């Protein structure tokens, strides 16, 4: 049987290839897999003979790199993984290590192929704490809490409770679906049974759960217990407290807590509470105070407040002031901010400033989002400036390489049709 061109590459490589050789081998295997092109988990009709040329070169690093390369097509990765699991011949007695299983499970779960990932773990008896915790999160975050709990109990029995990754995973799932009392029951088991020692993630997950329902007092008690047990809190812990204060309507206390953490040297990002506060005036004030706290706002912090102001009536002057501050701090405008500006000026009926922001974005090859584009066309047509609206559309299509022309054309046509009916 004639061997594919990839065979030439395989023959020239040593058992332990250099990084450049590894890349060549990964490319050769990928080409071979694309020729086979498996489209389901267990393709019966495919002959893996062409892959056998690569068996002398297999090691865990090569397998992991091939799996990563197959990100767009998980079935090709799975076909390769299964082939490498059952090598015949197997000249170097290769077998997958734990890292290989992590790589294939991560890929399958990223494509929501939960049953296939589950079957693979069961087939190979790979019920490690880390691997099963990934399955627990995948099921739980997709809304299948029942399966998440089932797999938690399965790994807990196999590992005799010594499964901290899975404990943390199931707590995160329960908190996400607001089953705080059930999560607390699981947490109490950890503490009472003392089979594993809770870490910062364990405590922070529960603190986040209490803060989601505004129970800041319970969250703070848990924070104290965390410190007494010698577990050091992290940024995520404090952000959970901050969000809890905001949920409970204690925005002033949230700002005070934020300021205290900054003074203590914590590198907190103001954006994590600006949205939660829900009060733009206080958010603007906090953003201006951040510099005095020794913590320079980042682009996302500015963007959060600026876009919030753009959605509020009568606050575009404040927007202009904050944009000036942001530019002075060395940050550049991005597509999100330009879209907010265009939308905000349109809402204010200021077609001159809206057009200025629009053209500025075009000059930087940024595409205004569809909603703001619709607002803009609506404003221009309403003011009888149809020709100007059509011209800026043409300029955007000509100069912005990422624009989806068909989608924007439909929005333009809809607005033109709507306004033509009003005449």
> What DSSP string runs through 263-305?
HTT----THHHHHHH--HHHHHHHHHHHGGGT----HHHHHHH
Residues 165/173, Cβ–Cβ less than 8 Å: no
**To 5 degrees, how large is the angle CA 200–CA 172–CA 221?**
50
User: Do 165 and 130 form a contact (C-beta atoms < 8 A)?
Assistant: yes
3: region left, alpha or beta (phi > 0 left; psi from -120 to 50 alpha):
beta
Residue 233: predicted pLDDT: 87
Pick from 8-17, 154-163, 210-219, 344-353: least confident: 8-17
Average pLDDT over residues 326-351: 92
Q: Report the distance separating Cα 153 and Cα 170, nearest Å.
A: 10
290: confidence class by pLDDT, cuts 50, 70, 90: low
Please report the pLDDT score of residue 15 as a whole number: 45
* 294 φ/ψ sector (left φ>0, alpha ψ -120 to 50, else beta): left
pTM for the predicted model, two decimal places: 0.66
Q: How many helices (H) and strands (E) does the chain have?
A: 23, 0
Instruction: Share the mean pLDDT of the chain.
Output: 86
- The per-residue pLDDT for 250 is 79
Q: Does residue 152 contact residue 131 with C-beta atoms inside 8 Å?
A: no
> Would you say 147 and 139 are in contact if contact means Cβ atoms under 8 Å apart?
yes
Q: What is the band of 279 on the pLDDT scale with cuts at 50, 70, 90?
A: low
The domain limits of the chain are: 1-125
For the segment 149-195, what is each residue's pLDDT rounded down to a tens digit? 999 999 999 999 999 999 999 999 999 999 999 999 999 999 888 88
- CB atoms < 10 A from the CB of 73, how many? 18
In the predicted structure, residue 16 carries a pLDDT above the cut 50: no
Express each pLDDT in 85-134 by its tens digit.
999 889 889 999 999 999 999 999 999 999 999 999 999 999 999 999 99
DSSP letter, residue 83: H
Alpha helices (H) along 125-179: 129-141, 145-158, 164-176
Q: Quote the CA–CA distance of 93 and 367 in Å, as a whole number.
A: 54
Residue range 18-29: mean pLDDT, rounded: 81
**pLDDT tops 70 at residue 423:** no
Q: Is a pLDDT exceeding 50 seen at residue 12?
A: no
Residue 5's pLDDT band, with cuts at 50, 70 and 90, is very low
CB contact at 8 A, 384 and 352? no
Which of 26-40, 260-274, 311-325, 342-356 is predicted least confidently?
Answer: 260-274
Region 246-268: mean pLDDT is: 74
| Residue 422 DSSP code | T
């Amino acid at each position: 049987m004639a061997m594919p061109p990839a065979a030439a590459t395989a023959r020239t490589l040593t058992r332990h290839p250099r990084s450049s050789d590894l890349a060549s081998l990964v490319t050769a295997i990928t080409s071979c897999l694309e020729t086979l092109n498996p489209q389901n988990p267990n393709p019966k009709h495919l002959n893996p003979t062409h892959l056998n040329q690569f068996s002398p070169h297999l090691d865990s690093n090569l397998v992991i790199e091939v799996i990563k390369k197959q990100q767009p097509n998980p079935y090709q990765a799975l076909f390769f993984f299964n082939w490498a699991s059952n090598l015949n011949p197997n000249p170097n007695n290769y077998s997958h290590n734990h890292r290989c299983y992590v790589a294939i499970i991560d890929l399958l779960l990223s494509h929501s192929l939960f049953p296939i990932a589950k079957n693979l773990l069961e087939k190979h008896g790979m019920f490690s704490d880390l691997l099963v915790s990934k399955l627990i999160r995948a099921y739980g975050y997709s809304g299948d809490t029942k399966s998440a709990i089932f797999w938690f109990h399965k790994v807990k029995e196999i590992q005799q409770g010594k499964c901290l990754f899975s404990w943390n995973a199931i707590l995160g799932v329960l908190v996400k679906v607001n089953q705080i009392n059930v999560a607390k029951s699981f947490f109490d088991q950890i503490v009472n049974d003392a089979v594993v020692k809770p870490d910062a993630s364990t405590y922070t997950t529960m603190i986040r759960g209490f803060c989601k329902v505004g129970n800041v007092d319970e969250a703070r008690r848990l924070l104290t217990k965390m410190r007494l047990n010698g577990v050091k809190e992290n940024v995520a812990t404090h952000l959970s407290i901050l969000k809890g204060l905001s949920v409970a309507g204690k925005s002033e206390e949230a700002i005070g807590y934020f300021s205290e953490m900054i003074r203590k040297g914590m590198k907190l990002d103001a954006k994590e509470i600006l949205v939660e506060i829900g009060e733009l005036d206080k958010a603007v004030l906090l953003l201006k105070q951040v510099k005095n706290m020794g913590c320079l706002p980042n682009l996302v912090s500015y963007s959060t407040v600026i876009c919030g102001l753009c959605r509020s009536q009568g606050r575009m002057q404040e927007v202009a002031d904050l944009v000036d501050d942001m530019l002075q701090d060395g940050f550049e405008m991005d597509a999100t901010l330009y879209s907010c500006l265009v939308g905000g000026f349109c809402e204010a009926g200021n077609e001159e400033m809206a057009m200025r922001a629009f053209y500025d974005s075009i000059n930087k090859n940024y595409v205004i989002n569809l909603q703001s584009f619709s607002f803009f066309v609506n404003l221009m047509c309403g003011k009888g400036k149809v020709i100007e609206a059509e011209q800026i559309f043409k300029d955007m299509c000509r100069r912005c390489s990422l624009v989806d022309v068909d989608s924007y054309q439909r929005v333009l046509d809809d607005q033109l049709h709507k306004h033509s009916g009003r005449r």
